[in-house]
Amino acid sequence: MQKRSILACLAAVVACGGTASSKSAASSSAATTSSGSDFNYVVTPHYVQANAADVSPGQTRCDNGTFACYAPAPIRGAYDVPATLDGAGQTIVIVDAFGSPTIERDLKIFDQAFGIPDPPSFTVLCPQGCPTFAPNDVFHDEIGWSVETSLDVEWAHAIAPRANIVLVVASTSSGNAINVAEQTAIGLFPGSVMSQSFGVPEFLITANNSQVQQAISNYEVANAANITLLASAGDFGATNGGPIVNAGFPASLPLTTAVGGTMGNPYPFGLVKGNAKSGFTYGGEQLWNELAAVVGEDVATGGAPSLLFGVPSFQAGLGLSMRAIPDVSYNAAIDGGVLVAWSALFPAGSFFIVGGTSAGSPQWAGIVALANQANHGPLGFINGALYKLLHDPTKYARDFHDITVGNNQLGGTAPGFTAGKGWDDASGIGTPDVANLIPDLIAAK
């Protein structure tokens, strides 16, 4: 791999080809601090360029031999996404900063590559004006946000192909800008599903931060409007790459459903069994925890008690002293990542293998859109229903894959949590069997 050397190429905005990567945990954390009570959200998509031969509807191993990778069909098969639901009539709102100048083209190329219909509508909404792509803006990592945009849009669409997609683009990654963008979207799209694949470590902010308070106000309005909120739990273990165990915000806010990460067990190919001819089914998963020796940097699923929020009612009885995340999990592996069309710095038709908990939030948004379709109306806040299913042994066993292997100690040295039977601080309730989950989730509401 050329993971480190290509970073210099991307920083200089040179389309060098080869491999690309996100920032390290330390630099990601540093990028969140600004001045006073301000902060900048960060995204951490981890990505490596795929060969053209890697891109096929049934791909489960990339021909270049570097990483395992998945197209939509294997992921849908592994998580038992029903073909009888497609998200028709629903709206998925994807929130990102900066956006991507090639997202419309990349989505169309993604759909053509994997035989997915175009969404009924794809809207790019920029409440403060659409920003000009500035890949030299290293502080805000506009390249990373561009990759994130493609990942979020394409994979929410892959799970719910007939749902309307709205990409809400904040003018920058500050908490204020994201709040303005989300406030606008919440007002325009009641009953929708909103995905947020970004966050800030709680140890860098305080509960009385004005940006946090505005976000909470937004989410309360969203809850009243029957909008389901999802957020990624983070990619740098139980400490978020910092000095203490802490959760990431906004995933830690009790009004959101926090999505953690898993990887195949055995790693990296264990998630999916079968092939394009016989069909894809579930294999096995463990907690997402990949080392620098394999993927270029130490990464692991976020998951920890919150420093800011007390125990919500839906987590009563779990022996917690504070709100803890994640609530659910999903595949986040880099070696075992998903294929994403992205061409902001590369020729049209370029694909990348992308991992991180960023992959889980938009796909869970797609799952909720399917559930809303089956329900003939929005489910809105789903955490109470999810935890009801956790406490029903029969339904839990059929609706979720209980993750019991692995830990989220970053690099094997930082503090972390170990997976265990039932809910745990590193995997939450587990990963979904979507076809079984949807009717039980509706009934639990």
DSSP calls for 91-123: EEEEEEES--TTHHHHHHHHHHHHTPPPPS-EE
* Cα separation values, 237 from 103, 326, 399, 426, Å: 30, 12, 26, 9
Which CATH number describes the domain made up of 3-444?
A: 3.40.50.200
The residue-averaged pLDDT of 222-246 equals: 97
**C-alpha span between 36 and 66 (Å, rounded):** 43
The residue-averaged pLDDT of 75-97 equals: 98
* Per-residue confidence (pLDDT) for residue 29, from 0 to 100: 34
**C-alpha span between 63 and 46 (Å, rounded):** 19
The residue-averaged pLDDT of 224-235 equals: 98
* Per-residue confidence (pLDDT) for residue 21, from 0 to 100: 37
Q: How confident is the model at residue 208 (pLDDT cuts 50, 70, 90)?
A: confident
* Per-residue confidence (pLDDT) for residue 44, from 0 to 100: 83
| Three-class HEC string of 297-354 | CCEECCCEECCCCCCCHHHCCCCCCCCEECCEEEECCCCCEEEEECCCCCCCCCEEEE
Weakest-pLDDT range from 21-30, 100-109, 207-216, 410-419: 21-30
Classify residue 403 by its DSSP letter. -
- Mean per-residue pLDDT over the chain, rounded: 91
With a pLDDT cut of 90, the percent of the chain lying above it is 84
Q: Select the more confidently predicted residue: 29 or 80.
A: 80
Which region, left, alpha or beta, applies to residue 139 given φ > 0 means left and ψ of -120 to 50 means alpha? Answer: alpha
With a pLDDT cut of 70, the percent of the chain lying above it is 91
Question: Is residue 128 within a helix (H) or strand (E), and if so which, with residue range?
Answer: none
* Per-residue confidence (pLDDT) for residue 37, from 0 to 100: 67
* Per-residue confidence (pLDDT) for residue 14, from 0 to 100: 26
Give the pLDDT confidence of 313-360 residue by residue, as tens digits: 999 999 999 999 999 999 999 999 999 999 999 999 999 999 999 999
Burial class (CB in 10 A: 0-12, 13-18, 19+), 35: exposed
* Per-residue confidence (pLDDT) for residue 1, from 0 to 100: 27
Q: Select the more confidently predicted residue: 63 or 34.
A: 63
pLDDT at 4 exceeding the cut of 50: no
Tokens of 177: 């800008």
pTM comes to 0.92
* Per-residue confidence (pLDDT) for residue 6, from 0 to 100: 23
| Three-class HEC string of 174-208 | EHHHHHHHHHHHHHHCCCCEEEECCEEEHHHCCCC
Largest CA distance in the chain: 57
**C-alpha span between 374 and 394 (Å, rounded):** 22
Q: Both ends of the chain: CA-CA distance in Å?
A: 47
* Per-residue confidence (pLDDT) for residue 61, from 0 to 100: 77
Report the candidate in 374, 402, 41 with the shortest Cα–Cα distance to residue 211: 41
Sequence ranges of the domains in the chain: 3-444
State phi, psi for 437 to the nearest 5 degrees.
-65, -45
* Per-residue confidence (pLDDT) for residue 390, from 0 to 100: 98
Q: Select the more confidently predicted residue: 214 or 21.
A: 214
Report the candidate in 319, 332, 321, 305 with the shortest Cα–Cα distance to residue 422: 319
Q: Find out whether the peptide bond into 268 is cis, omega within 30 degrees of 0.
A: yes
* Per-residue confidence (pLDDT) for residue 7, from 0 to 100: 24
Contact 146, 154 (CB under 8 A): no
Give the pLDDT confidence of 131-190 residue by residue, as tens digits: 999 999 999 999 999 999 999 999 999 999 999 999 999 999 999 999 999 999 999 999
Q: How confident is the model at residue 8 (pLDDT cuts 50, 70, 90)?
A: very low
**C-alpha span between 66 and 50 (Å, rounded):** 9
